[in-house]
Every structure is written in structure tokens, then in C-alpha cells.
Structure 1
Amino acid sequence: MQTEVLVALIGLPAAALTAGIAYPVGRGVARRQAADQHAQWMRAERRNASQAYADAATGFIEAFKTSWQEIARPDYAHTRRRDIESRKQLDATLYEPLKQGLSDMHRASAAVALHGPDEVTEAAESLHAAAVEAIGHLLRFDASNVLRSIGAVVLLQRDGQAQRLPAALEDLDRAFARMAGPLGLSEHADEVERMLRNASVAAAAAQLLSSFHEPEAARSALHDLRAAVEDAPDMARQSLEPLLDLEPLVDLTAQITAQREGRQVPVAQIMSTLSAAVPAMLDMVTSMQQNMQGSLVQMAAQQDDDTVRTEEVFTAYAASLSGPLQVIQQIQQHLVSGDELAASTDMTSAMATWEAGLHPLNQDLTNQTAQTEVQLSQVREMIRPMFDRKVEESNTEVHAALEHTVQSRLDFLDRARQAIDTV
């Protein structure tokens, strides 16, 4: 029995010792297996998350290219085609795929942020920011096309404006509807809306100036201009405020038209209207001359490489306005003399004398205005290419923004691969 006891006393501690060594070794193996399984799981999750985000970005990029091609296509120039009914218009849902692409990226970014690491999350955020910035450039490109089409109509001679302005205004309405959704991007909303507001004001002003021969149409245009100016930027509002006071001129045109059609209009009514119309015309021409020498020439010079030539053309036009301005002042003085003649006892003779003096002033105003039109045509020819340059610049910015977005996607994938390989 002593032998058995001795064996037991020796064997039990040995067994306990073996078990004590085996336990931590087994636990270490289990930990390594668990760590390997976790790493494998993490790699799979990061791979799936990054792939989903990259796929969403790819969808956005493809939608972006399609929208860009739609905006840049030749027949998109809103008012070039004379056949208004068959003109191809961009649908209001043009930007919906881009909004959907951003939404898909936003949803996919949650898994990227959850599984990390931080550098991958930051790369995803940079890609999303690049996509948003690209939409901003595309919106500005779209708006610059709208401005060019509206500008082309505004710069036309008046006999061509009446036919094309309704189409231009319709296109402007479509532009507001088309870009209303993306304007929710606060980063770009103000600038794009300002561009559209300016186009709206310019179109309304052109509509007014081209419709004086139709008094009812002129009154409607004046109403539209007042509504547009209320929402316009400060500079546009200040430049166009004198046009808002031209209602007496519209009334005068209506009375003269009525007389030519054989309808009776009291002379006293015409004189009263003329007395109100002349100061309004004086204010308009004075304001135009000041703008041509101030804010407008500075704005144009910023858009043209040949600033000296730009200033020369605008200064020449401003100087040409001095002729009509002087004649309008003479007409205003003639109106005062008419009031004095009206006090004469021989009213018939007084009116004949007054009308005889007014005729050469009207003829002089016509001649002076014709000279001003020559200078104005040079201003038009100088402004016209500025719209083209703006469109080209905007298109170049869209191209650069798209390249940046594509590169940001590649950078994101590189960061994601590194994060997967180093788990």
C-alpha cells in the first residue's frame, strides 16, 4: 500500500500541474481564434460598407454626367429655336437622380462611420462634400445658360423682342421649377437664386421697354417688373427703380394711340399726362447715364479682359445720353412755358405757338436718340460675348468638380483598402 500511496502522492500534483499549464495555453488559443474571427468579421463589414458607399458614389457620378450632358447639349439654348412649340425643354426632374445619389451616399455613410476607422470616415465625408460642391457648380452652369438665353433676348433690337420674350420668360419659369429642389442645398442656394432673380428682372425690363406701343401690354409688363424688382438684389433694384415710375409714359402712349384711332381725348388730359411723363423720362435717362459711368461699367470690366476698351465703350454710351437728356430738359422747360401761355387771353393762338415750338423738340429728341442707338449697339456687342464666357467658365468648373469627385472616390477606396488590410 505504501507504493500505491507514493504513486498517488506524486501523480496528483503532476496532473494538477499539467492541467494548470494546459488551461492558459488553451485560453490563449481561444483568444487568438476569437480575435481572428473578429478581424475577419471586421474586414468583411468594412469591405461591405466601403463597397456600398463606393457604389452609391458611382451612381451619383453617372447621374451627374447624364444631367451635365443634358444641360450642355446644343438644343438646350432656351430661346435659339424659333419654333417654340417643338423646343426641347429640360424636365423639372432633371436633378432628382442627383438628389437620390446624395441620399444613397448619406445612407451608406452610416455603416462606414460605424465600422471606421476615422480616416475612412473622413474620406467618405470628403467625397460627399465633393459631390455637393459638384452639384453647386452644375446649378451655376445651368443658371448661366438661362442668363445667356435671357440676355440674348434683352440685347435684341426691339422688333425682335416682342416675339421671343414670352418664350424666354417661359424658360425662366421652367428654370425656377427645375432648380427649386437643389436650391435646398444651402451652400449654393443664394448665388443660384440671385442669378435667376437677375434674369427675371432683366426679362421683365426688356418686356416693358419693348411693349410701349401696346399700352395694355406695357401696363402688364410694368406690373411684372415691379413684382420682379421686389425680390431682386439691391444693385438690380437700384438700377431699375426709374423704370418703375414710367406709368405716365404708358398713359401718354395710350392717349396718343387713342387719338390716332379717332377717339377723343381732352387736350388738358394729354397735357397733364405729358407733364408727368417728361420728369419720369428725365429721371430714367439720368439714372441710366449714372449707372453707365458707375456700377455697370465696373461690373462689365470685371467680366472682360480688355477693361480699357470696355470703359471706353460704356463711357461713350453714357456721353451719348447727354443729347437726349438735354432735349428732355428743354421739353420740360417748354411745358412750363405752355402753362404761362395758357394764362393768355388768346388761348387758340397760344396753343398754336406752343405746339409749333414742341415739334422741333420732338424731332431733335428723335435724332439724338438715333445717335444714342449707335453707341448702344456697341455696348450690346460687347456684352454679348460676356454671357458666352460665363457659360464656358461655368462648364470648365463643372468639369473640374466632376474630376475632383471621381478622385475623391478613388481616395476613399484607397483608404478603405488600407483599413481592411491592416485589421
Structure 2
Amino acid sequence: MATTSPASAFQATVPAALISAPGSGQGKSLVTAALARLHRNAGRRVQVFKFGPDYLDPMVLEVASGSPVYQLQPWMTGEDECRWRLAQAACEADLILVEGAMGLFDGTPSSADLAVLAGIPAIPVIDAWGMAQTFGALALGLARYREALQVTEVIANRVASDRHAALLAQGLPASLSLLGAIPRHEALTLPERHLGLVQAGELSDLESRLDEAAAVLEEAGLGRLPAPVNFSAPPAEPVPALLAGCRIGIARDAAFAFLYPANLDLLRAMGAELTFFSPLADSCLPDVDAVWLPGGYPELHGETLANNVAMRHALQAHHQAGKPLLAECGGLMACLTALVDGEGRQYAGFGLLPGTATLTRKLQGLGMHAWHHGGVQLRGHTFHHAVVDTALPPTWHSEKQSGTGGEAIYQQGHLLASFFHGYFPSAPSLVADIFTGRLTAS
């Protein structure tokens, strides 16, 4: 790790790589987590980032690395934030890893766009099952597709044998090398459900799984550090204390857990006092001025939430007192009169809004969105398998980054609810208006 420049800027040189793949399902999430654990176990300070708006992979990556995982997405977080977060991390870490999303060139912006923006080399993880020399052709295509992108190493995943690994290495052109050949191994898998990986907190053996996966990668030759990268950027601009003295209660448990660390950081930077509570286990709200019900899996805990009558009454009293409440995605679902899970079982919701939320097998919303209001733009995303049936008309709609259509945004009193997940640093003033009750329909 290099020494830093004066306090006016972040500047340091540290090994770094973006771990990507030709597409989803190649194993890059678990490879990234295992790499983070491998280097952490070797005594290195590892900082991992996640490209895109995903909540679930970062939970596993945080356990693997021992540090909070922040999102990097040039459109959602902004290019400047991508630069200063990486440069700040370089001043403190011995290794930076960024997990890509989908395929290396998928999306606008793509994982490759971030790698080029930050000057980070990309290391594709390629599922080699069922191929030999063709592995080299696929790797070469990824390396040559975009001239400004650095790709000099690749990782082979799900390799059948030493002979298979040798064939893969022999098939690579001279410009590419095989960083490692990972055998098929149970430690390189985690259970999934409709929104992706299960939450890290639900896996009692996650620590041992990660240690085992790290050992598999080390034996496969992946213990070498990637090339050093020079990072330099000015720090973030300070935000005004728009939430000074505001006490915000945030739901955080197995049913409500989709929280960006950057969102929490922003609320604190604006002067808010944050208190966490569990709608599953607690019988009352903390003494707060506003409540935030983030996304999660309320549909998996419908019976427990319905049976917690005391919490339902506490939330209703908070709402009836005219206090602000933000409900995102799973939070929206729980706020309705009824919630129907994937098996068709209906449970009582919190009853703050009229209507029913129903989980479906079909994906109902996916993509980057923005909400334009009051001259600012709150950026974020949507990803859900549920529909809402309500007589309440939307007050606003989000807008897709590309394409048509958006998510309904409902306002009733000082309650704001939508399937839309916001990235708070993109619009601090609007976020402050939500939590102070100053938000108006104009």
C-alpha cells in the first residue's frame, strides 16, 4: 500500500481488479468472495465493491472481507463518487476487488465502463465446464472487444481435472494467462431464491464455507495479487446538516435488510440519529421522528409479521400522528392491508395503505430508475416479483433510465411508498424532505 497525498485529495497505488464474467451464472460472486477471504486470511486489508444496485451479494462480500461493501455504478452513484470511493479505499486497503454484474459488457453503463473509468484491469471468470480450447477463443473475445479495457488474465471455473486445466491454458493466446483453474467444489456454491443469493445472515455456516472456498482458490493458484493501480481523486463534497436532530428508526432484520451503507452514511452526515428496530421481534417503535421500512423479504415472514399486532399498532400510531415514513419495495408490500406469499397464503399487513401485495413467479420490475422531483433527481433501481392491487392513485412515478414505464410512488399523509429503491446520495435535499415531512406533491 502506497503512502497518501496531502489531505486535500485521495491518492494511492494498490493492487486492484474487477472480477467479471461473460454472463450471469459463471460463478463470479463466490469467486470474488473467496478471493476476498483468501487475502484477508493472509493478513491483508481487503476492500470489496459491488458494481450495480445489488443488495444480496454485498452481504456475503462483507462477511468475506470484514468491511462494508459499497455500490459503484457510474449512472446511479455518479462517476465522481466512483473515483473518490476507490481512491479513498486505496489509501487504506492492501487490495481492492470490484465484483461486476451480469456480463462484462452488459448494461449501460456496464462493468467494463467502470473498469475503464477507474483504470482497473478486468479478470473474467469463465465457466469452463464442457469446453476446452474454445475457452481461449471466448477469453480472447472478452479481451479484445473494447480496446481501452485491460484484460490480461482469466480465471477458469468448474474445471474437471488437471488435464482439463492444461488444455484451457494451452488454448489461450500469448497475450492472456490463466490466473487459476478452480475445480468444481461444493464450497463455491450458495443457496438462492427469487431475488438471488439468500441473505448472509441466514447461513449459519457462511464463515466456514468462505474459509473452505478460499482454500480451494489458493490451491488452484489464485493467491497472487493483481497488478497495482494508481487511484487519485478529490474527496466528496460535504453535505449540509439538513437532518440535524432528526431521529430515524430503521427496520433491520431478516424481513427488512436491503440497506445501502452509503444511504446510512448520508443520513448520519446530514445530522440524523439512526436507531434500528425489528418489525419481526420488537413490540414497539423506538422514540423516533421518522421511520424507514426498507426492502427485504416480508413475504417469507408473513405469519410472524401478521402475529406481531403490537408492532402493527405502533406503526399505525406513528402514521396517524402525521410522522414521516418511507417504505421501499418490501416495505411497501408490508404496509398494505394484506400480503400474499408465493404459495398463495394471505396475511395481514401493517394496514397503513389500502390494498394487497401479491408475490408472483414472474419478474415484475427490473432496471435503473430515477424520480424527478423539485428540480433534483433521486436515482436508484427496481427489482421485484410482486404486484400491488390498490385503489390509491399514485402521486408520482419513477422513470426508467432506458425504455418506458416506471414504478408508482404513493403518498398518503407523510407516508411515501414505492417499489423504487433510492440511492440517497444522488439527491440529499429530497431525502431530507422525505424524512422531515416537508415533501409535497408540487
Superposition TM-score tier, normalisation by shorter sequence: under 0.3
Higher helix share: 1
After TM superposition, the score normalised by the length of structure 2 is 0.24
Higher strand share: 2
Greater Rg by CA: 1
After TM superposition, the score normalised by the length of structure 1 is 0.25
